């Protein structure tokens, strides 16, 4: 009887750990993009979605995440994350980030889309190279995402 109780308790703990709703680390050079299947190597343009059920989707570019959202058939996203261009490898809240589309700043899938955690960083780059600035809502409109 004691063995059964311990086994049930261990299975409960394992079950709760496997369904945690949190971002996963991207293993650059190893993980593949959920949308285009390319290996994720660029620490300045990767993105990630975590659903309310804890399922994690990694992308090699922000545009892959947005293109996947067009046909989204998964649980509601809990997190949208993007790399901050100024801090390679750092994932930040996509909904609070600032975006730049500029032909002078290539991204992995050719949309020239880059995210910045700080508006000032985005504005400084935009002043130097030009381009179109967007927020999350404008970006979703640009990519015709209507979740």
Summarize pLDDT for 79-88 with one digit per residue, the tens. 999 999 999 9
Model confidence, pTM: 0.84
Domain coverage including residue 81? 22-142
In a domain, residue 115? The reply is: yes
Cα 116 to Cα 112: distance, rounded to the nearest angstrom = 13
Q: What is the pLDDT of residues 12-67, one digit of tens each?
A: 554 545 568 899 999 999 999 999 999 999 999 999 999 999 999 999 999 999 99
Q: What is the C-alpha R_g of the chain?
A: 18
In a domain, residue 12? The reply is: no
In a domain, residue 5? The reply is: no
Quote helix, strand, coil % in the chain, to nearest 5.
Answer: 30, 20, 45
In a domain, residue 40? The reply is: yes
Cα 87 to Cα 75: distance, rounded to the nearest angstrom = 30
Q: Give the chain's domain count.
A: 1
Cα 122 to Cα 42: distance, rounded to the nearest angstrom = 18
In a domain, residue 47? The reply is: yes
């Amino acid at each position: 009887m004691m063995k059964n109780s311990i086994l049930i308790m261990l299975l409960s703990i394992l079950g709760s750990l496997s369904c945690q709703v949190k971002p996963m680390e991207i293993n650059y050079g190893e993980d593949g993009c959920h949308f285009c299947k390319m290996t994720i190597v660029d620490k300045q343009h990767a993105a990630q979605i975590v659903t309310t059920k804890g399922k994690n989707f990694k992308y090699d570019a922000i545009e892959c995440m947005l293109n996947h959202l067009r046909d989204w058939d998964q649980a509601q996203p809990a997190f949208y994350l993007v790399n901050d261009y100024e801090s390679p490898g750092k994932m930040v809240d996509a909904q609070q980030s600032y975006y730049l589309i500029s032909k002078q700043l290539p991204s992995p899938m050719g949309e020239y889309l880059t995210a910045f955690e700080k508006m000032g960083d985005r504005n400084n780059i935009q002043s130097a190279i030009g381009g179109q600035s967007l927020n999350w809502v404008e970006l979703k409109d640009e990519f015709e995402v209507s979740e």
